[in-house]
Amino acid sequence: MTLAAVATAAHATTTTAAGTHGFLSPTGVEIAFLLVGLVTLGAAVITVTTRQLVHAALWLVVALGGLAVEYLLLTAEFIAWVQVLIYVGSVVVLLLFGLMLTRAPIGRSPDADSGNRWVALAVSVAAAAALVWVVVDAFRTTWIDLDGAPAGSTEVTGASLFQHWVLPFEALSVLLLAALVGAIVLSRKAKADAAATPTTGTRRDTEGAR
């Protein structure tokens, strides 16, 4: 799915949404959302089930990218681009570094899942059933009007962020600094064998704190 297609689809939905909103007569935006959502969910499921560790990271890219598209469909442009930049651009790269530094096996590893798998499946299916049931029960008639100006354009987001959310924003910078220092401290080796991988650690930290 190209960016242009996403943009046109978003434009179409914002213009045509009106009248009765039944689930059996979906709008175009809804169809696009459903399709992208299916892709995203599928990628996420593969991420948590595949036996190839590196593939898991790559499927994570697909899932996060799909989420970025969903943001766009919800007219939250800025967050969509931030998602692409930070998650797809840095977090996944960081995770790949981590995989390599821990010498994760390339190819199928038979013991990617722990013995806890079935319990985990039961818990997550139960949680999913409960959540879906509650959410559908609560919001089955709620309608999002996507017409008009985008709700999350860079201008709107920036205005609210620097008008109403300045103080948390600044506090967040302190948190990031703390994370930076913490990552350095944690990854520093004991003095006896402080030689092997200080450079990679430092680089990873700076990227993570970005």
CB of 5 or CB of 120, closer to another protein = 120
9 binding another protein? (CB under 8 A): no
Binding residues among 174-203 for another protein as defined by CB under 8 A: 175-176, 179-180, 182-183, 186-187, 189-190, 192, 201
CB of 6 or CB of 157, closer to another protein = 157
First to last CA, the chain: 28
Q: Are 63 and 91 in contact (CB under 8 A)?
A: no
Q: Are 198 and 189 in contact (CB under 8 A)?
A: yes
Q: Tell me how far, at minimum, the Cβ of 151 lies from another protein, in Å.
A: 4
Buried b (16+ CB within 10 A) or exposed e, 108-125: eeeebeeeeeeeeeeeee
Binding residues among 95-134 for another protein as defined by CB under 8 A: 95, 97-99, 101-102, 104, 111-117, 119-128, 130-132, 134
Give the residue, chosen from 21, 35, 81, 88, that forms a contact with another protein under the rule CB under 8 A: 21
Give the residue, chosen from 12, 62, 78, 88, that forms a contact with another protein under the rule CB under 8 A: 78
Beta bridge partners of 108: 52
34 binding another protein? (CB under 8 A): yes
Q: Tell me how far, at minimum, the Cβ of 17 lies from another protein, in Å.
A: 7
What is the Cα Rg of the chain in Å?
A: 21
CB of 5 or CB of 161, closer to another protein = 161
Phi-psi region of 95 (alpha: psi -120 to 50; beta: other; left: phi over 0): alpha
Of 55, 65, 58, 1, which is closest to residue 32 (Cα–Cα)?
1
Binding residues among 130-159 for another protein as defined by CB under 8 A: 130-132, 134-136, 139-140, 142-146, 148, 151-152, 156-157
CB of 6 or CB of 33, closer to another protein = 33
Q: Are 53 and 112 in contact (CB under 8 A)?
A: yes
165 binding another protein? (CB under 8 A): yes
CB within 8 A of 88, min separation 6: which ones?
61, 64, 65, 68
Output the six-digit token pair for 67.
């989420």
Of 33, 11, 14, which is closest to residue 146 (Cα–Cα)?
14
Q: Tell me how far, at minimum, the Cβ of 124 lies from another protein, in Å.
A: 4
86 binding another protein? (CB under 8 A): yes
Q: Tell me how far, at minimum, the Cβ of 2 lies from another protein, in Å.
A: 21
